[in-house]
Structure 1
């Protein structure tokens, strides 16, 4: 299995993702991804390019092991200093559906758990 085949693609999107992460504090964000960017990076197999990823305090809390696209997005986010700092003390849900929209929803994590 080829590893990190979508990492370079996600790194191209990091500046746009950063902008949408910041805006997602006030309201959920969506933006269209370019299907051909991902298609040329590699065949996604049965799972397609769809995924749901939930991060709390910068750590993934759901199972994304079956999605190379999600794993590589997480690696791109955590290797970017600005994105990594943003993810702290927040709950961020990112998902891509069949329409190839990246959705981002952010909430603050209560310190009083």
Structure 2
């Protein structure tokens, strides 16, 4: 597995991801990714590029270390100051399925946890 092979690919998408995370505060968001961008960054073969990231108050709550695609995206999300602010006190679910559409769903965390 190539270490951090998808960072440059995700970096290209960061402006649109930032916008969709902002918009996800009011309604669920989705947009189509270009599979060619990811295929040129690394060969996933039969395993594909599907993943789920559950982020609660800025921290991943599910295991993403086995997916280089998810791990690299999460690393960039954490490094982006604007996105870190948007993730505070929120539960954000980011996923990519077989159709290669990135979905973002955001809910506010209850203060009565």
Return the offset for 1:46: 4.1
Distance 1:108 1:56 in 2: 9
1:86 has 2:86 as partner = yes
Task: Provide structure 2 residue ranges, at least 5 long, that are not aligned to the other structure.
Answer: none
SS of the residue corresponding to residue 36 of structure 1 reads: helix
Distance 2:83 2:48 in 1: 25
Task: Provide structure 1 residue ranges, at least 5 long, that are not aligned to the other structure.
Answer: none
The 4+ residue runs of structure 1 with deviation greater than 2 A are: none
Give the TM-score normalised by structure 1.
0.96
Distance 2:79 2:16 in 1: 15
Aligned to 1:95: 95
Give the TM-score normalised by structure 2.
0.96
Q: CA RMSD in A?
A: 0.9
Aligned to 2:40: 40
Specify whether residues 10 and 67 from structure 1 end up closer, same or farther in structure 2 by C-alpha distance, changes over 3 A only.
same
Return the offset for 1:47: 2.5
- Deviations, residues 14-61 of structure 1 (Å, cap 9, x unaligned): 100011001111111000001000000011244310001100011000
